[in-house]
Structure 1
């Protein structure tokens, strides 16, 4: 048995012995898991909450949040039927930003996009096979969310 009533990594609520209304705690944990299992956000980092969110939508909170997001710098904000839920970002977390398809990584206390690499081009004599291999490599890195091609 643990001394805390939340998981150590993401603070998911745990059931307590002889707890009444266990479904409340269980449903809260499922709501947070729903946001973290395949993390995708509409946009961000943003400092102002959106005006008309839909349940299930999420955003990355910016560095100077206001309103309902105040004090949640860098967190993932999820809109649910019960209001805002926040998950603190952890080093190495990856999330896809739906507004532009970029995979962001939480590194050094901030959400960062992967480096952009331009595909090979130019030159008077180009080895076609080498160019094709480089293009395939870049496509693979982009598909894994590790790079964004120019």
Structure 2
């Protein structure tokens, strides 16, 4: 059992104490009875003030601070209980906040931006990418409830590891971002398997192929009507988008001879209603038949089978779709250049996987 005192912050001897009041007399105290009684426990009884000198090592509880103090070897009162050497294996795992069978901290998710109201011990989160309220500016940090009703913010160090309950995976902090410790794929949308065919949809011309400038979905193309709606578990997650289909190729006049180069067909991924593709690649090569006229042959593949890696922009639901953009066969001097396009897509398979 430990003794307690009301405070240690009153230096002047109180003028109207109540019987039973106990105070720790601070240094340089003043008053008829208190002067020269530094470090003693002042106890007010009906007969007046009495003073107790506690031995070295004695603990007292300061009520207005909610803290323990101990008397050290120099006779001074020091916050805390002093240095305590714990016996090896003396603390049971169940005494650690949030621990049961493991001491690994468990977070609910990495997507919450506003601090939940009325949290309970040991609820924890990795703060989301756009935090608000008292979490503003704390993105990526740990928020853990150590006392019911409030969160403590912890700035992680490189190598810190927690378990994400929503991803069902361990994640590790690399000094700047949280990464999956297992490298697993935690969410799969699809696969969309279709046995029927989809045909050419036409469009409004095409554009020169570029490795850096995305193609647009207004060009002449064959879109796959199958779409996937995917909601990422965290912003910045890596998404692997897979698409496979049998392609029936065809050619047709463009109605113009304005094209000045041969353009390969392109498989592209689009998100929502955004015009520009988020990922793309060529799906056939061009062999020139007549360098003088630029007449060319497309080395067509009967199947397209591609994978794209893109980053989830946020944790909202997004619609992903695949489009096979037509190529151009430029005939210099001819009255018509030709589209080279997919007249049909069949045996299609479309899938999105999300990395932890």
Tell me the TM-score range normalised by the shorter chain: 0.5 to 0.7
**Residues 1:128 and 1:50: Cα distance change in structure 2 (over 3 Å):** farther
Aligned residues: 91
Give the conservation status (yes or no) of the 8 Å contact 2:22–2:42.
Answer: yes
Q: Does 1:72 align with 2:37?
A: yes
Give the conservation status (yes or no) of the 8 Å contact 1:45–1:74.
Answer: no
Alignment TM-score, normalising by the size of structure 1: 0.52
Q: Does 1:101 align with 2:66?
A: yes
Which structure 2 segments of 5+ residues have no match? 82-151, 164-356
Give the conservation status (yes or no) of the 8 Å contact 2:24–2:39.
Answer: yes
Q: Deviations over 1:63-119 (max 9, x none)?
A: 21211211211100011122111001321111000001110001122111028xx99
CA RMSD after TM alignment: 2.6
Structure having the larger proportion of residues in strand: 2
Cα distance in 1 for partners of 2:25, 2:9 equals 5
Q: Does 1:50 align with 2:50?
A: no
Equivalent in 123, 128, 132 of residue 157 of structure 2 = 123
Give the conservation status (yes or no) of the 8 Å contact 1:40–1:95.
Answer: yes
Cα distance in 2 for partners of 1:84, 1:71 equals 13
Give the conservation status (yes or no) of the 8 Å contact 2:2–2:59.
Answer: no
Structure having the larger proportion of residues in helix: 1
Deviation at 1:40, TM superposition (A): 0.5
Give the conservation status (yes or no) of the 8 Å contact 2:4–2:63.
Answer: yes
**Residues 1:45 and 1:109: Cα distance change in structure 2 (over 3 Å):** farther
Cα distance in 2 for partners of 1:121, 1:128 equals 13
Alignment TM-score, normalising by the size of structure 2: 0.23
Equivalent in 51, 61, 85 of residue 50 of structure 2 = 85
